[in-house]
Structure 1
Amino acid sequence: MAKFLLSLHVLASVLFIGPVAVAVSMFPRRAKAALAGGPDQAADAGVLRILHRITQVYALLGVAVPVLGIGLAQVMDVLGQSWLIVSMVLTAVAALALLLFVLPGQQAAVDALAPETGDVQREKAVKGLKTLPMTAGVFNLLWAVVVVMMVIRPGSSTGV
């Protein structure tokens, strides 16, 4: 059972968190280009909508990763170990960063590209883009730390 849950947990993390990490990383540069105007603004706006949608859908699917991880930890009887608790806290912080900063920043940029958007809303979106690369980087860094902790498992009793 543990091997099955581990396989699902790893597969879900690769298939669901990976696309979010890529979309979150690509979004700020494409948003800056789209909000600057230019000949490819319509194409950039389409790309932004797709990247934002990928972030939303795969983030929702990504909830399976910690759910499977908790189930796996229960089966392996490691739920109380400090490395797992730290990784769960970092996962929660990453989720909060995504929900509170990344997704609203992306939505503001997408909304600013709508034809009926005024200059004030567009300027607000441009200002919001200044923090979006940083929050995207923090989100991805948190996930990278969690992955390393899952591999190294400091203090783990599994002996591997």
Structure 2
Amino acid sequence: MAKLLLSLHLLAAIIAIGPVTVAASMFPRKAQAALAAADGGGAGAAESAASVRVLFRITQVYAGIGLAVPVLGIGTAQVMGVMGSPWLITSLVLTGLAALVLMFLVLPKQQAVVAALAGEPDADPVKAAGSLKQLTMGTGMFSLLWAVVTVLMVVRPGSSTHA
């Protein structure tokens, strides 16, 4: 059972977290280009805005699918009897932090850019463009948190399972 859960946990991590990380990382650069094209009325403005919407949608959808990663991880840890291990607790805390960064920093700022590009009445393109540095920082933090979690999952400092 442990091998099945671990396999599902790893598949979920690869299939869900990878696309979120890539799409979120690409978003600020594409958003900057799309906002500049929209401001200048360039011919590629619609295409740039469409690519930004796709990246936002990928981030949203795969973030939802990514919820399976900690759920399957907790199930795996319970079956393996390592729920109280410091490396696992640290990984869960960092996973929670990554989820908070995604939910309260990355996705809202992406939504603001998408709304600005769509010309929504309450959207402020200048504010959206100004928040791109924060968005870049947020996506970097998200990626770094997941990188640390991945290392902890592989190295498992202090683990007694010797695997």
After TM superposition, is the score higher than 0.5?
Answer: yes
Runs of 4+ that moved beyond 4 A: none
Q: 1:106 aligns with which of 83, 106, 110?
A: 110
CA deviations on 1:89-141 (whole Å, 9 max, x unpaired) are 000000000000000010000000114558x7111101111211111000000
CA deviations on 1:24-49 (whole Å, 9 max, x unpaired) are 00000000000012331111100011
1:78 counterpart SS class: coil
Amino acid at match of 1:146: V
CA deviations on 1:65-105 (whole Å, 9 max, x unpaired) are 00000000000000001000000000000000000000001
Unmatched tracts of structure 1, length 5 or more: none
Q: 1:136 aligns with which of 130, 135, 139?
A: 139
Distance 1:127 1:96 in 2: 21
What count of residue pairs does the alignment treat as equivalent? 159
Percent identity over paired residues:
62
Q: Equivalent residues in 2 for 1:5-154 (5 A)?
A: 5-37=5-37, 38-117=42-121, 121-154=124-157
Distance 1:8 1:113 in 2: 38
Distance 2:120 2:162 in 1: 60
TM-score by length of 1: 0.96
TM-score by length of 2: 0.94
CA deviations on 1:5-42 (whole Å, 9 max, x unpaired) are 00000000000110000000000000000001233111
Unmatched tracts of structure 2, length 5 or more: none
Amino acid at match of 2:102: L
1:157 counterpart SS class: coil
